[in-house]
Structure 1
Amino acid sequence: MFALPLPAGRACSGSGTVTHPTKEPWMSAPEFSPPSSTLPAATAHAGARVPAAEVRTPGAGLRQILRGPSGLGTAGLYPARHDKPPTPPMAPTPPTPPMAPTPPTPSTAPTPPTPPTSPRRPEPSAAPAEGNPIPGLYHHPVPEPDPVRVDAVSRGIKAWALEEVDLYPEDWEEEFDGFSVARYMVACHPDAPTVDHLMLAARLMVAENAVDDCYCEDHGGSPVGLGGRLLLAHTALDPLHTTREYQPRWAESLHADAPRRAYRSAMEYFLQQASPSQADRFRHDMSRLHMGYLAEAAWAQTDHVPEVWEYLAMRQFNNFRPCPTITDTVGGYELPADLHAQPAMQRVIALAGNATTIVNDLYSYTKELAAPGRHLNLPVVIAEREGADERAAYLKAVEVHNDLMRDFEAEAAALATACPVPSVLRFLRGVAVWVDGNHYWHQTNTYRYSLPDFW
């Protein structure tokens, strides 16, 4: 199922697609200016959905991190230290307006100037994207990915798949090309400093998809024995520490099949750029992913359709979380481990992963219905458990996604205000851009996806 994956201020296109073309500065600004002293607008527009009491505020742990070390002998480390956050600078006093000139006659009245767009947000390209967005789905348009980078990543990832890890047989080539992983990663990581950084994400994405397809789904996957296969593949990410007698046998096993070869190689490249903390974070999120695979497999073996809330719990683990969690590594910087581990940050990341995964459920709906067997996705589970027809279940799943998106934006805006640390602001923007790029890829990948006829 990983599938290679407002009350105010909203604008509705003619097709009914909910978009929000103007994003908050923390979500897309290229520079690192701290937010204003008031909450960003994302919190305000989501206030009806997230009561003020529920928006996370920094606890003692976060305050301690922001203050830094304290105690005997540490005062000299901070010559200009303040225990309280600095007062935001006063806004400059606006100049006294000049005397108003004589108004021009109507025949010569100048056209009012167009308000300038913010230089802090890249504007979507004028050319319309391929495919149709799901009507009513809350999302943000993104610029078309840089074609030069898309071409470079496309050539690089195919060479890696064929020449380094022998990932797929010849008759899978069309499907590999149709996945469009280069366009996907360039859209999701526009701040990557080099093509090599983009390749880190592309290799891991392809490797994760190979595990999903070959172990779980399309290309010989089965729930039977899945736990053993996943465990051995996971040792390509989190290496086995054993005796000298058995170490060679394990090392040889990492070349036994395409998923393990891909995991091993992709992780080796990732470790060349990632810090130990970033690598361990990624391993943790891959463990979450594999646990989600196992839950879905167990339900398949027992022919169990979960309750909607149970399905959403499974999808919190079997989801895209490992992809946005590496946004700082791909961006060439690091969100420190203590800030990444803050509960407020963990909630933001979880909401982002959950929302992007429901996007996959919605865009892959017709593809999965056409496949053999029963595939669990959110519309199918809602129809089964809540007695809704297919159309009503699908439209309710759209609203579940929209609720998750608004909660994600509200929580992220509150965290950006509470913790205006440059790496935090950049990471939050990176996750938001990944969310947008993920939707862009699903919408535009007409090779893989088509929409149901519900509108």
Structure 2
Amino acid sequence: MPDPGVLLGIEARFGAHAHTHAAEVAVGGAPPGPPSGPVAAAGAIPVDVSVPEDGSDGDLIAQHAEEGAAAVRTTNAALERILRGPSGLGTASLHLARREEPLAPPAPETPVEGNPIPGLYYHPVPEPDQARVEEVSRRIKEWAVDEAEVYPPEWEDQFDGFSVGRYMVACHPDAPSIEHLMVATRLMVAENAVDDCYCEDHGGSPIGLGSRLLLAHTALDPLHTTQEYEPGWAESLQSDAPRRAYRSAMEYFLQKGTPSQVDRFRHDMARLHLGYLAEAAWAQTDHMPEVWEYLAMRQFNNFRPCPTITDTIGGYELPADLHSQPAMQRVIALAGNATTIVNDLYSYTKELNSPGRHLNLPVVIAEREGVSDREAYLKAVEVHNDLMHEFEAEAAALAAACPVPSVQRFLRGVAAWVDGNHYWHQTNTYRYSLPDFW
């Protein structure tokens, strides 16, 4: 459970942003919120701001309750779930709002393909807008095949089976336009091209991975060098599919993202590449990590670059000083960790059927804790669930401590990404099937 003392510190640090928002409203500015129309968040619900009666943990929240209330009233079902947060003795001060009965998860409009993992804690989402899915899928294939030349024709079935359009539409329900969705979709395809071609099935190898990743990273974080040597570097960005994909996807991202959003993405991509290198080093030395070591690697080799730019894809900005706060960074890290364990669980049988030994959480638990494959898999489900509960508790605490519109919307966006990520894994029966453990 988050420490109330820490929350008071968060409130103090975020106070200036709450005052700024109050001033904007006072002079007639409307607080930003989700876009209206067919892509708006479903089910805006009126929410009251509650403050502990003794004032012990609520004095600073009370100062900004009035100005924060307008932002809170625009919340959707995903944020309502976050704002509910933990339950039980001693958690009342963490809630911005309470309901007698929890909201029912949104019912899909049509039956959802695939089976969820039994016992996995997740939130169902409605089927993503089909028109958007089709348009994003058409555009991304055109970009990947013709413009960036990421995939050769013989990989077409695998590209189609990835269903990246459905993935990104499900993860970004508040995106104001197709082009905003395309920013996330190109980056996702580029990241997967690097993983496939440098690390995994399509020619990947741990040998020399560091050099390949460093040179590819310069497509995201450009080289600043002399006029004599700049042309050689620029030419290198066209030398293979991963670098072409990174360069092109980054050019589009620069058109939508602010400088701080772009730089935060570069930072998280460096984290991702560091995780790739750790796993490659273990493969070269045939090292089976301890469970905690594996989880440390997965905190870097994970989905974090995707939810961390949810504000760019939503067409707004979470200011850099709010994004960099330790409380926000913890929420983002927990979201990335939970969604990555989802990938471990759904891809388990796919990886077992692939050549070589693939590390995933169930495999590491079975090896290091001396349990059966079934027991290890079920233990990994528990680890995921613990991470999800911690993510929701920390997000609820942060939402209560900082009633600032951009923070509230960003937390909604991260929660939507977590839910959309599970939806894609569950429904992607082309790639994934469940083990027979139940």
Question: Shorter-chain TM-score category?
Answer: 0.7 to 0.9
Could you report, residue by residue, the CA deviation over 1:118-138 in whole angstroms, capped at 9, with x for unpaired residues? Answer: 9x9993324220000000000
**Residue 66 of structure 1: how far off its partner (Å):** 4.0
User: How does the TM-score come out when normalised to structure 1?
Assistant: 0.78
Structure 2 residue aligned with 1:143: 126
Report the equivalent of 1:418: 401
Q: Deviations over 1:41-68 (max 9, x none)?
A: xxxxxxxxx2655974443433355456
> Is the 8 Å Cα contact of residues 215 and 221 (structure 1) preserved in structure 2?
yes
Distance 1:323 1:54, change over 3 A: farther
Relative distance call for 1:126 and 1:164 in structure 2 (3 A) is: closer
Structure 2 residue aligned with 1:111: none
Question: 1:450 maps to what in 2?
Answer: 433
Residue 155 of structure 1, aligned match among 135, 138, 160: 138
In 1, distance between residues paired with 2:5 and 2:364? 28
TM-superposition CA deviations, 1:143-194 (whole Å, max 9, x none): 1010000000000000001111111111100000000000000000011011
Q: TM-score, length-normalised on structure 2? A: 0.81
Give me the whole-angstrom Cα distance separating, in 2, the residues matched to 1:446 and 1:414.
36
Compared CA separation, residues 56 and 314, structure 1 to 2 (3 A): farther
What does residue 102 of structure 1 align with?
none
Judged with a 3 Å threshold, the aligned counterparts in structure 2 of structure 1 residues 87 and 211 are, in CA distance, closer, same or farther, namely closer
Structure 2 distance, partners of 1:418, 1:306, is 38
Which residue matches 2:273? 290
1:85 maps to 63
Question: Conserved in 1, the CA contact under 8 Å of 2:272 and 2:301?
Answer: yes
Contact in 2 for aligned 1:55/1:411 (Cα 8 Å): no
The AA in structure 2 aligned to 1:242 is T
| 1:177 correspondence with 2:160 | yes
In structure 1, what residue type is equivalent to 2:63? Answer: P
Aligned to 1:25: none
User: Among residues 62, 75, 87, which one is paired with 2:14 in the alignment?
Assistant: 62
Structure 1 residues 87 and 391: CA distance shift in structure 2, 3 A: closer
Post-superposition CA distance 1:367-387 (Å, at most 9, x none): 000011110000000000000
In structure 1, the partner of 2:352 is 369
- Contact 1:335/1:423 (CA < 8 Å) preserved in 2? yes
Is it true that 1:213 corresponds to 2:165 in the alignment?
no
Structure 2 residue runs without a partner (length 5+): 28-58, 70-100
**Deviation sequence 1:355-405 (CA, Å, 0-9, x none):** 000000000000000011110000000000000100000000000000000
Kept in 1, the 8 Å contact 2:311–2:413? The answer is yes
Measured in 1, the distance between the counterparts of 2:154 and 2:265 equals 32
Rate the CA distance shift 1:390–1:124 in 2: closer, same or farther, 3 A. same
For 2:63, what is the secondary structure of its paired residue? coil
Which structure carries more helix by proportion? 2
Task: Give yes or no for contact 2:18–2:403 (8 Å, CA) kept in 1.
Answer: no
Distance 1:150 1:385 in 2: 42
2:219–2:237 CA contact under 8 A, matched in 1: yes
The residue type paired with residue 140 of structure 1 is H
Query: Partners in 2 of 1:319 and 1:453 — Cα distance?
Result: 26
2:389 is matched with which residue? Answer: 406
Could you list the runs of 5+ residues in structure 1 that have no partner in the other structure? 1-49, 70-74, 92-117
Are 2:212 and 1:229 equivalent residues in the alignment?
yes
Question: Contact 1:122 / 1:143 at 8 angstroms: preserved in 2?
Answer: no
Partner of 2:237: 254
Partner of 1:188: 171
- The structure number with the bigger radius of gyration is 1
Distance in 2 separating the partners of 1:87 and 1:397: 40
Counterpart of 1:393? Answer: 376
2:318 matched residue in structure 1:
335
Q: CA RMSD in A?
A: 2.5
Q: Distance in 1 between matches of 2:174 and 2:63?
A: 29
**Is the partner of 1:193 in helix, strand or coil?**
coil
C-alpha distance in 2 between matches for 1:229 and 1:212: 11
In 2, Cα distance between equivalents of 1:182 and 1:254? 26
Q: Match of 2:423, as an amino acid?
A: Y
Q: Which amino acid aligns with 1:421?
A: V
Indicate if the aligned counterparts of 1:62 and 1:342 stay in contact, CA closer than 8 A.
no
Q: Quick check: 1:313 aligned with 2:291?
A: no
Change over 3 Å in CA distance of 1:125–1:179 after alignment to 2:
same
Paired residues for 1:194-209 under 5 Å = 194-209=177-192
1:286-326, Cα deviation, whole Å (9 max, x unpaired): 00000000000000000001100010000000000000011
Report the 3-state secondary structure (helix = DSSP H, G, I; strand = E; otherwise coil) of the residue aligned with 2:133. Answer: helix
SS in 2 for 1:85: helix
> Given that residues 307 and 381 in structure 1 are in contact (C-alpha distance below 8 angstroms), is that contact kept between their aligned partners in structure 2?
yes
CA–CA distance in structure 1, aligned partners of residues 170 and 6 of structure 2:
30
Aligned length: 371
